[in-house]
Amino acid sequence: MFLLTVLLGLRRQRKKRCKMNLVQSKRTWGVWLVGVVALAQLASGAEEPNGVFPNDPLFPLQWHLHNTGQNGGTPGVDINAVKAWEITTGDPNIIVAVIGEGIDLDHPDLVNNLASGTDFFENDDLPYPSRVAGSEVETMNAGLISAEGDNGIGVTGVTWHCKIMPVRILNMINQNEADVVPQAKEAAAYRWAAGQGADIMIHAWVMSRSFPAAVHASITEVTRPGGIGRNGKGCLFVAPAHFGIEPGCFYPGLYPETISVDGVDPWDNLWWPHEIGSRVDLVAPYGCPPRFCGNSAIPMWTTDIAGPAGADALDYTDQGGLVACSLVAGVAALILSIEPNLTSEEVRHYLCRSAHDLGEPGRDDEYGWGRVDARAALDMVLTCRADLNKDGIVDEQDLAVLEQFMGTTEPLADIAPAAKPDGIVDELDRQLMMQYWHKEYPEFGLVARWKLDETEGLIAADSAGGYDATLSGGPLWSGTSAGEGGQVGGALALDGVDDCLIAPFILNPADGPFSVFAWVKGGESGQVIVSQTGAANWLMSDVEGKLMTEFQGSGRFGGPLHSQTIISDGQWHRIGLVWDGSHRTLYVDNVIAAQDTQTAPSGSPNGLFIGCGKAMEPGTFFWGLIDDVRIYNRAIKP
C-alpha cells in the first residue's frame, strides 16, 4: 500500500506537468528509484528506527529531517525531527512570518498551513511571488518550515501544522537582482507581522554589511521583551549569518536581536569553512543547489512554485538553498507549540543550549552553539517544566510537590501530556516527571555555576560555562564522592585567613541586569563571600553579621545596601544580590531582605574573588563553608 502511494503520488506529479524536459524526467525517475529502494529495504525486514515517520513520498529524501546516509552523508547529521515528532508535530496557533518575495499561496502542501499575509510591494493582501528566477526562495523556505506532514503528498516540514504568514517586501527582477520596498515600509512590515500575531519571523534574504537604523529599530521593537511582539513576550527573529562564499557576517543576522544561522552539509562540515565571527548562534543543514555549488551540489527537497516559474517544473524541488535559518525557525515553532508563553530570549536559550555541539567545546565562532536539535530542544523545555521548584534538576523535591497536588487542578504540577497539559494532576504527570528524572538543564541566563562538589585538586569547575576558578591559599574540599558536606552536594571550606577562589572575568555590571547567589555557613562580621576584583564587594556581612552589599551606583546617590538579616549564625543560608537595571535587591533564603533604587552602577572588566574582598584585604577572608555559587546575566526571582 505504501509503495502504491509513492508511485501514484509521483504519477500525479508527472501527469500534472507533462511538458517537463529530459533532465526533469531523469530527476523524477531518480526520486522514484530512491523511493523504491527505501521501500525494498523495509520489505526485506529491516527494522524501522524509533520516531514518527510521515507518509509523504519525498520524505525519505529529506536528509535534513532524517539523515540515513542519503547522498553518501553521515547518518544522524540532521535536526532529529523524527524523534521530536514523538512529542509534537506543531500547534496551528503558532505562526511563522516568512519575510521576502512572497509564497505560492495555492501550493497543495502549503495551502492548509497558511495564515493571512500581506504584500507591501503591491500594496494588497495577495503576497504571491513575481514568478521569475529566484522568486521561489520563500516558497522553498515555507515548505521547509511547515509543509503539511503526513498528508500523502510531496514533502514534510519541520512542523506539520504551524501556520506560515507570507509578508512580501521585495520583487525579484532576475535571479540576482531585486527591488526592495523603502526602509519605512520594511520597518512597517515587521511591525505589521507582530501586530497580526506572528510568533517567529524569518528573513532569509541576506541584505548587506550595513543596515538602516529605522529597520533595526523595528526589529528591536518586535523582539524585545515588553515590546509589541507576542503581547510583550517578544517575537523570535531568525536570519542567515552570511551569503554564499562571501566572507564575514551580514545584516540583519549581525544584530544581537536576531538568531544568526549558518549551514552545514550532510557530513557536519560548514559549506564554506572560514572564521564567520561571533554573531553565529547556530548551524543547521543547508542545501546547496547546482547554480551555487556545481558538482558539489547537495539536494534538499522542499516545495516550489508550481510550473515553470519555479526552480523545477514540478511542485517540488531538490534545489533548496538559504534554508538553514528556515529549519531553526521550524524548531522554534515546535518549542512554542508546547510552551507558548516562553519569551523570545527563553526560546533562544533552549535552541542554543540544546544544540549538538560541533567544533570547539561549547560555543565557538564557526559553529556557534552547534547544530540545532529539535528533540533535544523539546526535552530541555520539558525538563524545565518537570523541575517544579526550578533548581535546575528534576528530583525528589519536585516529586514531593507533585504528590502534594495529586488529583487537583494546580497549574504548577500539571505538566502532562508533553504536547499540552490536560488541566489535572494525575498519573500522566508522574510518568512525565519520571521520564526526565534526575535530568539537569542549563538555567536561562546562568552564565557561571561553581557547584564546589570536587573532592581534590586546585580547580573549581564551572558547570555552566568556561569560567573555571582556581583555589588560592589552601581551602579544603569538604565534600566526598557521595556528596556530603555541603547544602547542594559538597562544599568548599575556607579558613578566614588567606583562602579564596579566583575566577576570570564573567560580566560587567554596567552592561545590564545580573544576579549572584550562593549558599554559606559560618562567617564573621566584615567577611566577604563574592567580590569583583578591584571594584566592589557584592555579597558580604556587615559589622553585625547581617547581609549587605557594596555594589552601588557611580553617582553621588550611590552607597551600600544593608539588610536586617543575620547570616553569620552558623546555619546554612542562601544569599543573593539582584540588580534589574534600576533596583538592588538582597535575598536571604529566597526571601527579600533589603531593596532600594540604584542606577548607573560602576563598571568593571575584572574577574571575581569568592571568599574574600575586592583587594584581598585582611579581615575580609571568609571563614566557613561556601557552596553552589551562581552568576546570571539577568535579574532572577528565586
pLDDT tens digits, 233-254? 999 999 988 765 555 667 888 8
> 118-135 burial, b if ≥16 CB within 10 A, otherwise e?
bbbbeeeeebbbbbbebb
Q: Three cell numbers at 212?
A: 538602516
Give the orientation angle of helix 324-338 with respect to helix 137-146, to 10 degrees. Answer: 40
What confidence category does residue 558 fall into, taking pLDDT thresholds of 50, 70 and 90? confident
- Was domain 446-632 assigned CATH 2.40.30.10? no
User: What's residue 377's pLDDT?
Assistant: 98
Give the lowest-confidence range in 124-133, 240-249, 324-333, 406-415.
Answer: 240-249
295 vs 448 pLDDT, higher one: 448
User: What's residue 464's pLDDT?
Assistant: 86
Give the lowest-confidence range in 8-12, 235-239, 406-410, 611-615.
Answer: 8-12
User: What's residue 192's pLDDT?
Assistant: 98
Domain boundaries, the chain: 2-48, 88-375, 387-435, 446-632
The arithmetic mean of pLDDT across residues 151-173, rounded, is 94
Longest dimension (CA), the chain: 89
pLDDT tens digits, 310-324? 556 567 877 665 579
* DSSP 8-class letter at 326: H
What confidence category does residue 16 fall into, taking pLDDT thresholds of 50, 70 and 90? very low
Q: What is the Cα–Cα distance from 23 to 18, expressed in whole angstroms?
A: 13
User: What's residue 4's pLDDT?
Assistant: 26
Residues 6+ apart with CB under 8 A from 381: 335, 338, 339, 342, 350
Percent of the chain with pLDDT over 70: 84
The arithmetic mean of pLDDT across residues 24-45, rounded, is 37
User: What's residue 372's pLDDT?
Assistant: 98
What confidence category does residue 560 fall into, taking pLDDT thresholds of 50, 70 and 90? very high
Residue range 88-375 forms a domain whose CATH class is alpha beta
User: What's residue 25's pLDDT?
Assistant: 34
The arithmetic mean of pLDDT across residues 137-164, rounded, is 96
- Tell me if 79 sits within 8 A of 371, measured CB to CB: yes
Q: What is the mean pLDDT of the chain?
A: 86
pLDDT tens digits, 412-459? 999 999 999 999 999 999 999 999 999 999 889 999 999 999 999 999
Q: What is the DSSP string of 355-376?
A: SB--SSSS-BTTTBT-B--HHH
291 has a pLDDT exceeding 80 = no
601 vs 64 pLDDT, higher one: 64
9 has a pLDDT exceeding 60 = no
Pairing of strands 163-168, 95-100: parallel
5 has a pLDDT exceeding 50 = no
User: What's residue 206's pLDDT?
Assistant: 60
Assign 92 to helix, strand or coil.
coil
**Range from 178-182, 271-275, 392-396 that averages highest in pLDDT:** 392-396
Do the domains spanning 88-375 and 446-632 agree at the CATH topology level? Answer: no
What confidence category does residue 195 fall into, taking pLDDT thresholds of 50, 70 and 90? very high
Q: State pTM to two decimals.
A: 0.83
pLDDT tens digits, 570-581? 999 999 999 998
> 142-169 burial, b if ≥16 CB within 10 A, otherwise e?
bbbbbbbbeeebbbbbbbbbbbbbbbbb
Q: What is the Cα–Cα distance from 303 to 528, expressed in whole angstroms?
A: 62
14 has a pLDDT exceeding 50 = no
User: What's residue 637's pLDDT?
Assistant: 87
pLDDT tens digits, 372-403? 999 999 999 999 999 998 888 999 999 999 99
- Tell me if 211 sits within 8 A of 219, measured CB to CB: no
473 has a pLDDT exceeding 60 = yes
Q: What is the Cα–Cα distance from 378 to 383, expressed in whole angstroms?
A: 9
